[in-house]
Structure 1
Amino acid sequence: MTTSPAGPDPTMDAIGQAVTEGRAGDSPSARRKLLALWATIGVTGDPLHRCSLAHYLADLYEDPAQALAWNIRALDAADALTEQRAQEHHAGLRIAGFYPSLHLNLADDYRRLGSFEAATEHIEAAETLTPRLPQDSYGDLVRGAIREVAGAIAAQDRTRRASAPGSPA
């Protein structure tokens, strides 16, 4: 989705910078920066900040239990986020578009932990919500990952996906 920011948001900028650092290979530094931001934001802070930060921070953990904790925080924050707040950040941003990815991530974490019943619940939620995804490369990426995780759940495969965010290239 290509939209213009509605106004400056230093916290979202700091989250973005840490994410870029993590994607460039310095996961420990990115994790430290995001954890420091989390300490500032707090568990009752801006839901957009909490959702974004937790969503990206989960990708920086190899341990699926640690990733799961952050992905749960991301989903909880999304549930507290209003459309008005989302659109203050980006005029075209819609909360509904967050949920397929959030449920996908939870399904993948539960799958890696061997909790296939919980994984199935979340992958089914992600599949149900795919119509909310944009018809673009991001939507295609999430839809493909949903199919991949669904197949791994069916096979009761607990291995980390090579295509998962944060996986070594």
Structure 2
Amino acid sequence: MSTFTAVMQYIGDLDDEFYDDERQRDVWNEASAIGFQLFVWTLLIAGSVLPWVAGVTGSWITLGVLAVFFTVSSMVLMYAKARGLDMYTSQSLARPRIYLCTGVYLIAAFGAMITLASEYLSAGGTAVFVGMAIGACVGVGCGVHGLVRKRRLGREAEAAAEATELQELTKEQI
């Protein structure tokens, strides 16, 4: 077991005897999934509202909220991957829920950037926006990398399935 998996299992308290009962485990997993989704949507909605309600302070908080959202979501995906489940190959990303989540995320990000731009560009400070531009480039690069990786993993999974099927057919003929 990798250090990452061990740490995530410790954080999740997965060695508790509570998980020995299958029904309790299933109900708890469903409740945890609902709680995670509630956490995600609360962060996104708060991040979308804060720049407009609380101004510059709300914009900085929104950037922190978006960083927490990204970090927690990444940890969930990384743990699933470490346990042998790649969410990018096992589900379609072209779903209305994904589009809505991405839209709310972008509303929060652009709301924060617009509010911060109006505050700091009028004062002549451009360092924040240089950082934002670099971050946007890194984000786009990561997105492109993710799409390319998803396609590659899909092709590899398809090739492995075909190879397995071919082996089974060969065994049947012998």
TM bin, normalised by shorter chain, reads 0.3 to 0.5
Q: Specify which structure has the bigger relative contact order, considering alpha-carbon pairs within 8 angstroms and separated by 6 or more residues.
A: 2
Structure ranking higher in helix proportion: 2
TM-score, scaled relative to structure 1: 0.35
